[in-house]
Structure 1
Amino acid sequence: MSQSPQPSLSVVIPMYNEIENVTAMVARVHEGLADYRGSWELLVVDDGSSDGTPQALQREAEQYGRHVRVVELRRNFGQTAAMQAGIDEARGELIATLDGDLQNDPADIPRMVDHLLEKDLDLLTGWRKNRQDDLLLRKIPSRIANRLIGKITGVRINDYGCSLKIYRASVIKQVRLYGEMHRFIPAWVAAVVPPSRIGEIVVTHNPRVAGESKYGISRTFRVILDLLSVYFFMRYRARPGHFFGSIGLALGSVGGLLMVYLGFVKFILGEDIGTRPLFLIAVVCVIAALQFLTTGVLSELISRTYFESSKRQQYAIYRREDEPQLDDDAWSTPTTPDSGDDKDTSHA
């Protein structure tokens, strides 16, 4: 008895100045997906390489066939933009992403697809449990970042930095990636689906054997700044006035209490308050409170304009694959008392 076919799959790989890995990478993807029980395509996004990577990719595409597609960006936009371009161009029901440096193993993809379908997940991310990287420059900063991101976002996984992930296309296409936000994809996906539909599985991680790493210790500081943006957008994107307004009310309360105290000192005790540092602090708190409250109102207006002009919703409906399609007859029919006929009790 033959096994049932699997969903169509798009494998997205961003590459930047990886000419030494092009041939081996394309070959490894074909080896890893040789027994995949479904149609698949390989999309390699060249992120403005200057070392001949796009030309090498075109030669591989001509050799393997039309299922290998090369997406060339006009200049170097960064890994996040390259990944978003690949997701936009993908045609599969499932989308797999991985790095082009061969540290991720494409042979893990079929196993990850099976796990995602079996557990009915929307995102399955890889966990490089036996990571083949430098301990001081890569492993320790990554562990600290993973714990910090999990604590702040509420999506607790062991390896946010692993590029090997499997998504349902219907979910990931609702998420837009900007800046360097590819590190926080599970957190962004959690804004569309519950964290229970995000899973993690141990994957193979190989040492880099060719090319140069594009990451350094400076990435740690950028992660902290990006994390502040993620925290704000996850909690206050649709209600930014609550964020700024809370700060404004807190400062206003402090300033107001100080003013009341200074008023008591001035008018009841008859003491001079004009030269007191406390008076300056109170004035600054009141002015800052007014500014934060005003900023909150303006941010609410901008937020409403954004949602209305872009036609974006503040919610996402979960549709089951086996959910029947509604038609014009899917309505409850009103009945009238009639002793001679059976009552119509049909329901949608």
Structure 2
Amino acid sequence: MQLSIVIPLLNEEESLTELYNWIVSVMQSNSYSYEIIFIDDGSTDGSWKTISNLAVQDVNVKGIKFNRNYGKSQALHAGFLEALGDVIITMDADLQDNPEEIPELYDLIQKEHFDLVSGWKKKRYDSVLSKNLPSKLFNAAARKTSGVKLHDFNCGLKAYRKEVIKNIDVYGEMHRYIPVLAKNAGFSNITEKEVKHQARKYGKTKFGMDRFINGFLDLISIWFLSKFGKRPMHLFGALGVLMFFLGFSAAAWIGVSKLYKLYHQLPNILVTQNPWFFISLILMVIGTQFFLAGFLGELILRSSRDTERYLISKTTGIQ
């Protein structure tokens, strides 16, 4: 199979049929073999009924329904597990991503041999203050921190070689950073393509300003995991040893100073009256805690097991 179109969605009943017809038109005009995988992330409208009807009409349509809203990352994870295509395209269900971009994205993967192609919505139809400006700041920070030179990490329209999505783990809220996850997994042949951004036709956006706050926190998480995720002791152990050494050095200095004053019969004060006593004590305690945190992190990492991150209540079109 050439293409898998993976579409996570939440309450997009009004746009689904139009999006489906648009995708099918593009697929047929290019003679692609394809599948369309809709992942209903706990919709409360008629989205699942529409998906079920489409699956009955077209064997190329598959549907996965979560029993509640788990988030876009979990929806993509479920879609990636099911995808069979050589090239996987992800897009949003709100008609703001243009299916006409798919053939060029496909060619960049199959003919230009890129691992991942990320869409870049250079011209946007969103509010400048609520989305455009925060998005630019967020993307600048993401580029600087991750080293992946993309203009638009948040664009849902992306294309992947099959090996990429089968070897990365999209979890938590990491869907924004799939290119970073791919790079960390060794898939560094990443590029971007300028794509059309269309004004929302139905409903309203499901994302608020909090997504940018969460995005920065996730960025810190993925930076930490990429550097120290496999060996937490390298960070916590080093910090612990450093702080313990500083604390021990301060305590040793206090002790030597005390002995020197006693030997020379100089005026002296109690050790507990010296502020450096408490500073050294705190440094040694914190250093010990950091070291233990690293040790426990190593134990947890080596004994961790995968757990179910979402519950699927229904499927359609899936064997």
Assess same fold via TM > 0.5: yes
- 8 Å CA contact 1:31–1:107 kept in 2: the answer is no
- Please tell me the residue identity of whatever aligns with 1:168: R
Select which of 85, 93, 101 maps to 1:108. Answer: 101
Give the TM-score of the pair, scaled to structure 1.
Answer: 0.82
The match for 2:303 among 302, 305, 323 is: 305
Q: CA deviation at 1:68?
A: 1.3
Alpha-carbon distance between aligned partners in 2 of 1:14 and 1:182, rounded to the nearest angstrom = 11
Question: Partners in 1 of 2:74 and 2:165 — Cα distance?
Answer: 14
Paired amino acid for 2:13: I
- Of 134, 140, 149, 1:147 maps to 140
Cα distance in structure 2, aligned partners of 1:167 and 1:299: 32
2:77 match: secondary structure: helix
Q: What residue is the counterpart of 2:294 in the other structure?
A: 296
**Which residue of structure 2 lines up, in the alignment, with residue 255 of structure 1?**
247
**Which is richer in helix?**
2
Q: What's the TM-score, normalizing by structure 2?
A: 0.89
User: Is 1:215–2:207 an aligned residue pair?
Assistant: yes
> 3-state DSSP class of the match of 1:213?
coil
> Which of 279, 282, 287 in structure 1 is aligned with 2:285?
287
Q: Report the counterpart of residue 75 of structure 1 in structure 2.
A: 68
Cα contact 2:164–2:187 (8 A) shared by 1:
no
Q: Secondary structure at the match of 1:179?
A: coil
Which of 152, 156, 167 is the equivalent residue of 1:163? Answer: 156
Q: Which residue of 1 is the match for residue 169 of structure 2?
A: 176
Partner Cα distance (2:187, 2:275) in 1: 50
2:77 equivalent among 84, 102, 110:
84
| 2:4 alignment partner in structure 1 | 10
Of 212, 228, 243, the match for 1:236: 228
Q: Which residue of 1 aligns with 2:181?
A: 188
Separation of aligned partners in 1, 2:178 and 2:214: 16
Structure 1 residues 164-185: Cα deviation after superposition (integer angstroms, max 9, x where no partner) = 1111122211111111110111
How many residues matched?
300
Aligned residue for 1:93? 86
Asked whether the 8 Å contact 2:109–2:161 carries over to 1, the reply is no
Partner of 2:38: 44
**Matched residue type, 2:69:** N
**Deviation at residue 37 of structure 1 after TM alignment:** 4.1
Instruction: Give the gaps of 5 or more residues in structure 2.
Output: 263-267, 307-319
Contact preservation (8 Å) 2:89, 2:160: yes
Whether contact under 8 Å (1:46, 1:71) holds in the other structure is yes
Structure 1's unaligned 5+ residue stretches are 1-6, 311-348
Which residue number corresponds to residue 22 of structure 2?
28
1:100 to partner: Cα distance: 0.4
Out of 289-298 and 159-168, give the one that drifted further.
289-298
**Identity in percent:** 35
TM-superposed CA distance for 1:119, in Å, is 2.6
Paired residue for 1:60, among 36, 54, 58? Answer: 54
Report the alpha carbon displacement of residue 26 of structure 1 after superposing the two structures with TM: 0.8
Say if 2:115 and 2:187, in contact at 8 Å, map to a contact too.
no
1:134-184 superposed Cα distances (whole Å, 9 cap, x missing partner): 111111111111111122222121110001111112221111111111011
Q: Structure 1 CA distance, aligned partners of 2:28 and 2:293?
A: 56
RMSD, matched Cα:
1.6
* Partner SS, residue 156 of structure 1: coil
The 3-state SS of whatever aligns with 1:23 is helix
After superposition, the C-alpha distances for 1:189-248 in whole angstroms (9 at most, x for unaligned) are 1121243x1111111111112111011111121112212211121111211110111211
Amino acid across the alignment from 1:201: K
**Partner Cα distance (2:51, 2:16) in 1:** 7
The structure showing larger relative contact order (alpha-carbon pairs under 8 Å, at least 6 residues apart) is 2
Aligned to 1:338: none
* CA gap 1:194/1:10 in 2 versus in 1, 3 angstroms: closer
Structure 1 SS opposite 2:28: coil
Displacement, 1:112?
0.8
